[in-house]
Chains A and B, each alone.
Chain A
Amino acid sequence: MTTAISIQQVHKRFASLQALKGISMEVPQGSFFGLLGPNGAGKSTLISIMAGLARADAGAISIMGHDVVSAWRQSRHVLGVVPQELVYDPFFSVREVLRLQSGYFGLGRGNDAWIEELLETLSLSDKADTNLQELSGGMKRRVLIAQALVHRPEVVVLDEPTAGVDVELRQSLWRFARRLHREGHTILLTTHYLEEAESLCDEIAILNHGEVVTRDSKQALLARYPWRTLHITVDSSTFQLPEALVSLLTDADDNCLTFRLHRERDTIGEVLAALQSAGLTVVDLSTEEVGLEEVFLHLTGQSRGIV
Chain B
Amino acid sequence: MNAGFNARGFYTLFAKEVRRFLKVTVQTVLTPMVTALLYLLVFGQALEAHVEVYEGVSYSAFLVPGLMMMSIIQNAFANSSSSIIQSKMTGNLVFVLLAPISSLEFFAAFVLAAVVRGLLVALAVYGVSVLFIDLPLAHPWAIAVFAVIGSATLGALGVIAGIWADKYDQLAGFQNFFILPLSFLSGVFYSIHALPGVWQQISHFNPFFYLIDGFRWGFFGQGDASVVISLSVSLGFLLMLSGLGLYLLLKGYKIRR
Contact = CB atoms under 8 A, between A and B. Distances in A.
Interface stretch (A2-10, A82-90, A207-215): A82-90
Interface stretch (A71-79, A236-244, A254-262, A291-299): A71-79
B256 interface: yes
A88 B257 CA distance: 20
A97 B99 CA distance: 13
B6 A89 contact: no
Contacts of A87: 90-92, 94-95
Interface stretch (B8-16, B29-37, B149-157): B8-16
Contacts of B15: 103
A142 to B, nearest CB: 15
Contacts of B9: 103-106
Interface string B224-257: 0000000000000000000000000000100011
A55 B255 CA distance: 11
A107 B8 contact: yes
Interface in B2-24: 2, 4, 6-9, 11-13, 15-16, 19-20, 23
Contacts of B92: 87-89
B99 A104 contact: yes
Contacts of A108: 8
B97 interface: yes
A77 B4 CA distance: 15
A70 B2 CA distance: 7
A87 B13 CA distance: 18
A66 B2 CA distance: 11
Nearest to B86: A90
B98 interface: yes
B104 to A, nearest CB: 13
Contact of B12 (A48, A55, A104): A104
- Chain B interface size band reads 20 to 34
B136 interface: no
B232 to A, nearest CB: 37
A77 B98 contact: no
Interface residues of A, number: 36
Contact of B100 (A72, A81, A85, A91): A72
Interface in A81-125: 81, 83, 85, 87-92, 97, 100-101, 103-108
B49 to A, nearest CB: 46
A103 B12 contact: yes
Contacts of B198: none
B68 to A, nearest CB: 27
A2 B3 CA distance: 27
Contacts of A76: 98-100
Interface string A231-274: 00000000000000000000000000000000000000000000
Among A53, A55, A76, A79, find the residue whose CB has the most chain B CB atoms closer than 10 A: A53
A53 B98 contact: yes
B95 A106 contact: no
B8 A54 contact: no
B94 A101 contact: no
A205 B182 CA distance: 56
A104 B16 CA distance: 10
A190 interface: no
A72 B95 CA distance: 15
Nearest to B93: A87
A51 interface: yes
B97 A74 contact: no
B96 interface: yes
A147 interface: yes
Contact of B2 (A71, A101, A105): A71
A104 B101 contact: yes
Contact of A52 (B7, B23, B95, B97): B97
B194 interface: no
A104 B1 contact: no
B8 A103 contact: yes
Contacts of A147: 95
A87 B11 CA distance: 23
Nearest to B99: A104
Q: What 10 A-B pairs come out closest when comparing CB atoms? A: A103-B12, A104-B99, A87-B91, A54-B257, A73-B100, A71-B1, A76-B100, A89-B92, A106-B8, A87-B92
Interface of B: 1-2, 4, 6-9, 11-13, 15-16, 19-20, 23, 87, 90-92, 94-102, 252, 256-257
Given A104-B95, A106-B9, 20 more contacts: A53-B94, A53-B256, A54-B256, A55-B252, A55-B257, A70-B2, A72-B100, A73-B1, A76-B99, A83-B91, A87-B90, A87-B95, A89-B92, A91-B19, A91-B23, A103-B12, A104-B9, A104-B13, A105-B9, A105-B100
6 contacts: A54-B257, A71-B1, A71-B2, A72-B100, A88-B92, A105-B100
